[in-house]
Amino acid sequence: MTEQQLREQMVTLARSMFERGYATGGAGNLSLKLPSGYFLATPTGSSFGRLDAERLSVVDIDGNHISGDRPSKEVAFHLAIYRNNHKCNAIVHLHSTYLTALSCLEGLDTNNAIKPFTPYFVMRIGELPVIPYLRPGDPRIAEELAKRAADYRAFLLANHGPVITGTDLIDAVDNAEELEETAKLALMLDGKSIRYLSKEEITDLQGRGK
């Protein structure tokens, strides 16, 4: 896809997420790798419902601002993931309701916040590590994500929300939507007797992708 098509795709997908309640106010940010080697990111403070393709931010791998409006304050953590996972070409960060609710619970398994109970979670996401709480924009979020970026497709920032990767922006958005549904189910099922997938069932699903 050309840079112009990718810009329009970001605007369209962001608006679609906004209209369906995955993003509200100025929360969340998106980025993707451009054919030029630069990265396209949502501007800081922007609403997913009102992005302008021509004003999206362009940064280089070191976070230098190349063009467009001032980039998201989280661009450093997006870049940390790209640097450490070459399969990742797009990233979605949301404050979506169910994943953010999950991120506020005490006692999560920090290696994997959602114990698998459906195949799709295993195939699309695998495991969801929890990053200890840091204030939004703290450069240490990038350090924490850099350590884990090569091994995971999504992350849960404690008391904040999810960070989800994809092979392109469509894939990252699909992963985000499905992960949000999984969190919704996990919270709905809380306190109920769940039949979790067995080790063998999980092994059988691993590597099957989507």
Ligand X SMILES: O=C(O)[C@@H](O)C(=O)COP(=O)(O)O
Pick the stretch among 21-29, 55-63, 143-151, 179-187 that binds ligand X (CB under 6 A).
21-29
CB of 22 to ligand X, least distance (A): 12
**What is the C-alpha separation between 134 and 162, in angstroms, rounded?**
13
Provide the token pair at 83: 């640097």
**What minimum distance in Å lies between the beta carbon of 137 and ligand X?**
6
Nearer to ligand X, 30 or 205 (CB): 30
User: Site for ligand X (CB under 6 A): which residue of 16, 24, 26, 168?
Assistant: 26
Residue by residue, DSSP assigns 41-100 as EPBTT--GGG--GGG-EEE-TT--EEESSPB-TTHHHHHHHHHH-TT--EEEE---HHHH
- When the beta carbons of 26 and 63 are compared against ligand X, the nearer one is 26
From Zn ion, ligand X, none, interface partner of 29 (C-beta below 5 to 8 A by class) = ligand X
- Tokens 């998106």: give the residue: 30
Catalytic residues: 74, 120
E-state strands within 136-198: 154-157, 161-166
Interface contacts to Zn ion, rule CB under 5 A: 136
Binding residues vs ligand X (CB under 6 A) = 26-29, 42, 44-45, 72-74, 93, 136
